[in-house]
């Protein structure tokens, strides 16, 4: 998708991870081509849509569900590439990449402690 028209949309998009940016591109394209909205409006609405679904997208922090030594665990990371390499080094398996807020709410009743993994 070409660079967004609106500089604020472009700035916010630059902060999103690839998965959320892909969701944005899909939403904006649907609104522009299927709903026949002007491109600038479609981009703004697309961004609002994906951020409303994942407000942590701008924080660049993700949660990962992993399996380590037969146990399911959840970790937080600011760098998915590094986290995946680290998981491979300690023989852990990635199960899913998740929204951090939702993970803390659902797995830890809203409060979690951080510790070093591995």
- The full 3-state SS of 49-99, as one line of letters, equals HHHHHCHHHHHCCEEEEEEECCEEEEEEECCHHHHHHHHHHCCCEEEEEEC
Give the pLDDT mean for 31-51.
94
Percent of the chain with pLDDT over 70: 95
Whether residue 45 is predicted with pLDDT greater than 80 in this model: the reply is yes
Specify the pTM: 0.56
Q: What is the pLDDT of residue 62?
A: 86
Whether residue 61 is predicted with pLDDT greater than 90 in this model: the reply is no
Rg (CA), the chain: 17
**Tokens for 56?**
């942590």
C-alpha dihedral sign at 19, 25, 30, 31: positive
Q: Please give the mean pLDDT across all residues of the chain.
A: 89
- Listed residue (4, 46, 15) closest to 28, CA to CA: 46
């Amino acid at each position: 998708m070409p660079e967004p028209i609106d500089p604020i949309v472009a700035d916010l998009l630059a902060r999103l991870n690839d998965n959320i940016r892909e969701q944005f591109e899909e939403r904006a394209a649907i609104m522009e081509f299927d709903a026949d909205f002007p491109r600038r409006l479609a981009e703004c609405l697309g961004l609002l849509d994906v951020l409303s679904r994942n407000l942590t997208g701008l924080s660049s922090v993700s949660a990962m569900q992993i399996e380590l030594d037969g146990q399911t665990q959840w970790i937080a990371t600011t760098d998915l590439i590094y986290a995946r390499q680290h998981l491979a080094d300690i023989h852990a398996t990635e199960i899913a990449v998740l929204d951090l807020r939702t993970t803390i709410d659902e797995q830890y009743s809203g409060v979690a402690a951080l510790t070093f993994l591995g």
